[in-house]
Amino acid sequence: MRVLVIHGPNLNLLGERQPEIYGTQSLADVDAALLAEAKVLGVELHAAQYNGEGEIINAFHAARHEFEGVIVNPGAYAHYSHAIADAIASLCIPVIEVHLTNIAAREPHRRTSVTAGACHGSISGFGIQSYLIALRALVEIIGR
């Protein structure tokens, strides 16, 4: 089973950018935790980080032929990128959206995700655990 993790804009700055909101763990820490869990689950996991909307869309287009599922943290694009939502909706594989923080408890402009509706499900508010919960759920969904 092959799973792609797409980290969106500014996630390359995890651990440095607003640690009071996003925590002190780096993107490398997130990927290391995911890879460790993937190994336990018998999953081949690939992770990539993109700051550009077009790059994320291209990654989704490529994923449909290479992976059985995708975990995505679209970052701020979650709140306004109908183009990414359309790319997700075009896939025949499950996609789970994750956020480190609870977007429903954030600033008003962050409380709605336009991309979540195109996904199989969404998980937010659990820090790095959001990703790990998503990976376990994706393995369950794909295995059905």
Residue spans of the domains in the chain: they are 2-143
Please give the CATH number for the structural domain made up of 2-143: 3.40.50.9100
Report yes or no: 120 and 141 within 8 Å, Cβ to Cβ.
yes
Quote the CA–CA distance of 80 and 114 in Å, as a whole number. 6
- In this prediction, residue 104 carries a pLDDT of 75
Mean pLDDT score, 108-135: 92
pLDDT at residue 144 greater than cutoff 80: no
Report yes or no: 128 and 30 within 8 Å, Cβ to Cβ.
yes
Q: What's the one-letter identity of residue 122?
A: S
Active site residues: 22, 99
Alpha-carbon distances of 22 from 11, 58, 72, 83, 93, rounded to whole Å: 9, 27, 16, 25, 29
With cut-offs at 50, 70 and 90, classify the pLDDT of residue 52.
Answer: very high
Condensed to tens digits (0 to 9), the pLDDT of residues 16-25 reads 887 777 778 8
Quote the CA–CA distance of 81 and 84 in Å, as a whole number. 5
Report yes or no: 4 and 67 within 8 Å, Cβ to Cβ.
yes
Q: Measure the CA dihedral 25/27/29/32, to 10°.
A: 160
